[in-house]
Structure 1
């Protein structure tokens, strides 16, 4: 793929076969992200619509349902199958350690699932979610919106076809000041029991998963350092868990063919997100890489020249839900499936183990 072909591919849905119909989605969990990012993205798409909303706050459920012409449900009503005919699939947007319960409920009702990342808080719970959907014969997609962005998908093809030669190094950062604005310390992201960790689980998964996607490979070993100051750092009640609400984490990852990965995730500091992939014959640099709807810029430099992609892409949340709905309508397994999400949870578990022990941790191929 030459540079002009890359530019052309970056604005094209390579998966869209224009199927008939739409998929009605129940949004489970009505936090800020679900209300202000995900629901507008669902409604802006071609193949999905909001059929129901689920919240533990009856007033919020009623208000959001009225705004979007959906059925309001409590968690109890959702679990018991109330208004089950109002939706075809479920979007799980609750705190991480509650994902499994909502995935199981959806699978029990025979509903397809798109679940926010990380898939769950532990490998064991993520495995149980994957098994529940496989046993029920329903689709499970991990909500990796970057993999649905035409720009990122075009870059994946470009790299796999030798566009930057042999990849040698991947680097990335995502800093999200979680206490900025009106957000105080009393939030689920700083509760290691609910979140399964801190900055790594919440924002570090973005450079990790996007690198795995672009390289088409998983790390074989990791090393890590992590630290936290107050109000970060609380450990979960499980004494066997090495995880805590990390404020900063720095990861070295060893990928196949000698590719070295270096990633940083932080819950404090100046907000930033970027990813860079270096090869023997070029490099790819993505600025403002992981902010939903952000003004993203991609620079690709090779021996054939340089191209900058801006003003395209960055509607990846809409693409994500349309891609999921397209998979459901066509019976196509999603690329970021449950096993993809499970792999990242296992890798992040190894990263926490490495940070705790100070030792290099080898990953077992799943």
Structure 2
């Protein structure tokens, strides 16, 4: 039987919108669909006329991806993938027949590669699909990922990977048992300005890191949306936007925290019901002695800033995680890496991971997702108890 939340599974409007600092200008133009040899397709996006996964051209093998949950974020991913060189939309999974028809026509997915939540286990026998990208509400991720793994397909899952660390571990175990890979949609791990800051940190340009600040938030609208339903979201702002600050602190500082303290503020208990956090302030302590101070909120607009300082310099990203061009500066001047749609870069690089065994600069596997979930669990525990929570390494 299909899960009980089918209409909501289509409502994934998540989050906001590049590869290492060494990406060439041609690589970036390709990612934007503007490189020589691209042609306008009937779907309204740039497409390579010699798609090796389709028309038998001589391009590298493409990762064939089925999108699960056809909401607004999936639409962004699908459009971005029209510019990919290594990945393409090959399947669709939805509880809404009209969406399957509309998206199938738009993105050239034949009826035989369209599934609903009740029958998608049949992808086991579908040779046209290599991986499934799960873009549904957080609470559905675990069970859907396990079903995909049992069907023998690689799993790509939107973040947060699950609603808690236990469920995340279940997903990792299921994928390991099935011999498939599990990746998490950390698009910022491929964004050029972000990767330039990481390169500088690894090169010692900032000296010993002392402090990180992550501010992530917006004023949420419709009070009836799934993100404000604990049964579907697993929480509130922390699960949706706060995970950017958690993950950002880790890749900016270059360490995993060993302790957490946190405080929750709720000004609208009607909109933000029991178990749905409105605003969470949290602090992280790292083995080196560096500390982080972060804010996650659904009640304040224009919060999208990362700042890090070390003994010899600083880095600032603002916006730090939005879909548009990431902007930033360091003590050495403005960051000016080229911009392309984050999801185009993400899916091309994930194709390299799944098809070629490539290793990204910053991990995007299930273990990476699990680390963030353990921190989220600790933050909620700190809010509930008022006490510092210790984190075990790994």
Q: 1:10 to 1:307 in 2, by over 3 A?
A: farther
Matched, 1:286 2:317: yes
Contact 2:214–2:248 (8 Å) recurs in 1: no
- Residue number in structure 1 paired with 2:192: 150
Give the Cα separation in 1 of the matches to 2:370 and 2:338.
Answer: 30
Contact 2:193–2:337 (8 Å) recurs in 1: no
SS of equivalent residue, structure 1 residue 21 = coil
Contact 1:11–1:312 (8 Å) recurs in 2: no
Q: Deviations over 1:124-150 (max 9, x none)?
A: 111000111111111111111111112
Q: Deviations over 1:113-166 (max 9, x none)?
A: 111000000111110001111111111111111111122222212102211111
Give the Cα separation in 2 of the matches to 1:192 and 1:144.
Answer: 23
- Residue number in structure 2 paired with 1:191: 229
- Residue number in structure 1 paired with 2:94: 55
User: In the alignment, which of 70, 91, 102 is matched to residue 30 of structure 1?
Assistant: 70
Give the Cα separation in 2 of the matches to 1:108 and 1:309.
Answer: 44
Contact 1:10–1:313 (8 Å) recurs in 2: no
Contact 2:161–2:370 (8 Å) recurs in 1: yes
After TM superposition, give the deviation of residue 289 of structure 1 in Å: 0.9
Contact 2:192–2:337 (8 Å) recurs in 1: no
User: In the alignment, which of 183, 195, 219 is matched to residue 141 of structure 1?
Assistant: 183
- Residue number in structure 1 paired with 2:393: 365
- Residue number in structure 2 paired with 1:241: none
After TM superposition, give the deviation of residue 60 of structure 1 in Å: 1.2
| Root-mean-square deviation (Å) | 2.0
- Residue number in structure 2 paired with 1:240: none
Alignment map for 1:297-316 (pairs within 5 Å): 297-301=327-331, 306-310=332-336, 312-313=338-339, 315-316=341-342
Give the Cα separation in 2 of the matches to 1:271 and 1:109.
Answer: 42
Q: 1:111 to 1:82 in 2, by over 3 A?
A: closer
Give the Cα separation in 1 of the matches to 2:123 and 2:357.
Answer: 24
Give the Cα separation in 1 of the matches to 2:202 and 2:359.
Answer: 21
Structure 1 segments unaligned to the other structure (5+ residues): 1-7, 236-243
- Residue number in structure 1 paired with 2:23: 12
- Residue number in structure 1 paired with 2:121: 79
- Residue number in structure 2 paired with 1:319: 345
User: Which TM-score applies when normalising by structure 1?
Assistant: 0.88
User: Which TM-score applies when normalising by structure 2?
Assistant: 0.82
Give the Cα separation in 2 of the matches to 1:155 and 1:45.
Answer: 25
Matched, 1:348 2:367: no
Give the Cα separation in 2 of the matches to 1:256 and 1:43.
Answer: 43
Structure 2 segments unaligned to the other structure (5+ residues): 1-18, 28-57
